[in-house]
Amino acid sequence: GENVEQHPSTLSVQEGDSAVIKCTYSDSASNYFPWYKQELGKRPQLIIDIRSNVGEKKDQRIAVTLNKTAKHFSLHITETQPEDSAVYFCAADERSGGSYIPTFGRGTSLIVHP
Amino acid sequence: GAVVSQHPSWVICKSGTSVKIECRSLDFQATTMFWYRQFPKQSLMLMATSNEGSKATYEQGVEKDKFLINHASLTLSTLTVTSAHPEDSSFYICSARDLQREVYTYNEQFFGPGTRLTVL
């Protein structure tokens, strides 16, 4: 099965700085890599995703890069704001039978100091 | 669109009782729903994949007789925690995938708001 490693577990930055969170995966057949933001006590919210046929995707201050050869993908947040503070999870979907089964990383607690 | 609800949002029960949690896709049909368990400050742990009209697929280490899953329709899946014990206290979250999007291999999951279970 898939194994997803996520680093760092905690990331503290000053407002306006950039933040980078990295994930690696083990199953080369995985083809979908979403990133979720979860605020305390709330549901995870998809913030950006990338498929295996694309190397980079950007949405305003958020970008994701994927290196299929190395089996790693990263989340980049520029011009961080205090409201970006949350726990971020990466995930990888592997094909299993007729469905796609997600495996989540352990999460990164991002703290943006005003 | 793509809203998933969960009921109840929180529940407190006595040890030994059973608790049922409902997960509904409100404005789309979902052939697949996932059930997760999340401990404080930890990641989402996939418990089982719930498929409409068939038996759920449980992850390794998850007791199928303890966590009963029923996916009776394209909009409803239920998780029943049987004979609950304090160690079952956790945050349970479901997610669903849109049937229409699945056709185009669109993998996005839509999460419910979660259910906080406390077993005394």
The residue among A2, A31, A36, A99 with the most chain B CBs within 10 A of its CB, best to mutate, is A99
Quote the DSSP letter at residue A55: S
Question: Alpha-carbon dihedral of residues A40, A34, A74, A82, nearest 10 degrees?
Answer: -30
Section B70-88 average pLDDT: 94
The confidence score (pLDDT) of residue A37 equals 97
The confidence score (pLDDT) of residue B107 equals 76
Residue type, B49: T
Length of chain A: 114
Neighbours of B14 (CB within 10 A): 8
- What is the C-alpha to C-alpha distance for residues B5 and B28, in angstroms, rounded to an integer? 12
- Cβ of A34 within 8 Å of Cβ of B42? The answer is no
Task: For A25-78, write each residue's pLDDT tens digit.
Answer: 999 888 889 999 999 889 999 999 998 888 999 999 999 999 999 999 999 999
The confidence score (pLDDT) of residue B58 equals 94
A99 Cβ under 8 Å from any chain B Cβ: yes
Task: For A77-99, write each residue's pLDDT tens digit.
Answer: 999 999 999 999 999 988 777 67
Which residues from chain A sit within 8 angstroms of residue B115, using beta carbons? none
The confidence score (pLDDT) of residue B105 equals 52
Closest to A24 (Cα-Cα) out of A7, A49, A38, A12:
A7
A102 Cβ under 8 Å from any chain B Cβ: yes
A49 Cβ under 8 Å from any chain B Cβ: yes
